[in-house]
Amino acid sequence: MTHREAYPAAKVTWVKAPTRSAEADNRPVADLVAKVLADVKAHGDAAVARYGAEFDKSDLTVFEVTQAQREAAVANLDPQTRKDTEFAITNVRRFAQAQLATILPLDVEPLPGVFMGHRVIPIERVGCYVPGGRFPLLSAPIMTIVPAKVAGVKEVIACLPPNAHEAMVAGCHLSGADRIFRIGGAQAIAAMAYGTETVPAVMKIMGPGNAFVNEAKRQVFGPVGIDQLAGPSEIYVLADETGDAEMLATDLLAQAEHDVRTRVGLITTSKALAEAVVAEVEKQLATLSTAHVAAPAWADYGEVAVCEDEAAMIAYSDFIAAEHLQVHTSDPHGLAAKLTNYGSLFIGELASVVYSDKCSGTNHTLPTMAAGRYTGGLWVGAYVKIATHQWLTEEGVKQVAPPAARQAASEGLEGHRRAAQLRLDRMQVRG
């Protein structure tokens, strides 16, 4: 079911509607992924090598990238590419540090003699999946590895497909990965989740990937944590009559070239702008070198919706809960303050998603498929645990023991009642 079919469209009409649903187009990969996970869990590196040969045409039997290979990858980077990569690392690190500064330990005394609080504890070891994809996405390792090191994670394991560009290895190294393995797909998730002879088991797995990676993360979740389940990339733009058709079309196509299943959309109060953007997209596709990817995405998943007024535009946007949401209106900050469901917000026409994708500092690993209704994107807080504690004085026991014992008794939990009452009884015996 497409958004057009699912949404009560009393105040929304479509100049261009999506013809396919990304949710329905997910390939039936669950059974294959389950087989890969079980095989790697049982046979370790041998299974990883076998699936690497089958899926990635890899002949690797030693998966870890050596220190010499890491250093060579960095040395082989184009000097300007290295500078740009380090610029992005600095910005992501700076923003993650600012976020971490807002996560503080807590100690309070809400009742006399009852002390409680929490500690901020970094996860001991995390795994970062770095996708290979159609292009070498040099920002991908930065977004998962740098926040981990800022959070204080002791060991960061990075996995990337065997055929990933050497610059991706350099990106993992410069971002601070402790160990790097050339393992891709569901077998990489299995290796990090269960551990093999060479890959250590991690506590949490971060990073986006294809449908197989996503399904593998879903299946290993429980004993192993995951950041989120990521679908194809998404961009929506909210615009009124002041929107610039050329700029809007350019930004939409910038995301459409990610994948043929990318969802791109314009939600506007101006039918004239809607029609102009559709025309401009077609015009730009004629000269776009990545049109072989962007054109199918636009044809199948592209959406241009016209809303009756600003309230209807906000309501439809919050229903979509887009991964990336740009605001191009006469009062972008005013409209932005009224929005609640999105992965990351880009306020005003100067704030392009591309800047965040690459180097501005906010994390580009974001919720898709309407998950923005209940969560934000990857951030430094995903790499720490907020673990509570408490301790009591005798005065505190006097405060909480009687109601705890009474509640346990009313529930028929005699063991609970005894545990609640014991300390109080002993205090009374002591006088």
Same domain flag for 98 and 196: yes
Give how many domains the chain has, as a whole number: 3
Predicted local distance difference test score (pLDDT) of residue 137: 82
Give yes or no for residue 311 having a pLDDT over 70.
Answer: yes
Other beta carbons less than 10 A from residue 182's beta carbon: 23
Same domain flag for 221 and 237: no
Same domain flag for 140 and 52: yes
pTM summary value: 0.92
- What HEC string does the chain produce? CCHHHHCCCCCEEEEECCCCCCCCCCCCCHHHHHHHHHHHHHHCHHHHHHHHHHHHCCCCCCCECCHHHHHHHHHCCCHHHHHHHHHHHHHHHHHHHHHHCCCCCEEEEEECCEEEEEEEEECCEEEEECCCCCCCCCCHHHHHHHHHHHHCCCEEEEEECCCCCHHHHHHHHHHCCCEEEECCHHHHHHHHHHCCCCCCCCCEEECCCCHHHHHHHHHHECCEEECCCCCCCEEEEEECCCCCHHHHHHHHHHHHCCCCCCEEEEEECCHHHHHHHHHHHHHHHCCCCCHHHHHHHHHHHCEEEEECCHHHHHHHHHHHCCCEEEEECCCHHHHHCCCCCCCEEEECCCCCHHHHHHCCCCCCCCCCCCHHHCCCCCCHHHHEEEEEEEEECHHHHHHHHHHHHHHHHHHCCHHHHHHHHHHHHHHHHHC
In a domain, 375, yes or no: no
> Mind listing the pLDDT tens digit for each residue in 94-106?
999 999 999 999 9
> Mind listing the pLDDT tens digit for each residue in 406-424?
999 999 999 999 999 999 9
Same domain flag for 353 and 401: no
Same domain flag for 55 and 82: yes
Same domain flag for 316 and 356: yes
At residue 27 the predicted structure's pLDDT band, cuts being 50, 70 and 90, is low
Give yes or no for residue 3 having a pLDDT over 70.
Answer: no
Q: Determine which of 4-18, 107-121, 188-202, 379-393 has the lowest per-residue pLDDT on average.
A: 4-18
> Mind listing the pLDDT tens digit for each residue in 143-158?
999 999 999 999 999 9
In a domain, 382, yes or no: no
- What average pLDDT score do residues 36-55 get? 97
Q: By residue range, what is the domain housing residue 107?
A: 30-228
Other beta carbons less than 10 A from residue 289's beta carbon: 8
CATH label of the domain that carries residue 247: 3.40.50.1980
In a domain, 377, yes or no: no
Predicted local distance difference test score (pLDDT) of residue 23: 60
Q: Which of 203, 228, 253 is the C-terminal boundary of a domain?
A: 228
Of 127, 118, 148, nearest in space to 194 by CA: 127
Same domain flag for 304 and 423: no
Phi then psi for 368, rounded to 5 degrees?
Answer: -125, 180
In a domain, 368, yes or no: no
In a domain, 386, yes or no: no
| Residue of 280, 323, 328, 349 marked active site | 323
Same domain flag for 265 and 219: no
Q: Which of 339, 361, 383 is the C-terminal boundary of a domain?
A: 361
Q: Is 324 in the active site? A: yes
Same domain flag for 164 and 198: yes
In a domain, 272, yes or no: yes
Same domain flag for 223 and 254: no
Q: Which of 228, 255, 280 is the C-terminal boundary of a domain?
A: 228
Same domain flag for 15 and 39: no
Predicted local distance difference test score (pLDDT) of residue 29: 85
In a domain, 100, yes or no: yes
Vertex 350, ends 347 and 356: CA angle to 5°?
Answer: 75
| Residue of 258, 324, 328, 364 marked active site | 324
pLDDT, the chain, mean: 95
Contact by Cβ (8 Å): 268, 307: yes
In a domain, 370, yes or no: no
Same domain flag for 163 and 128: yes
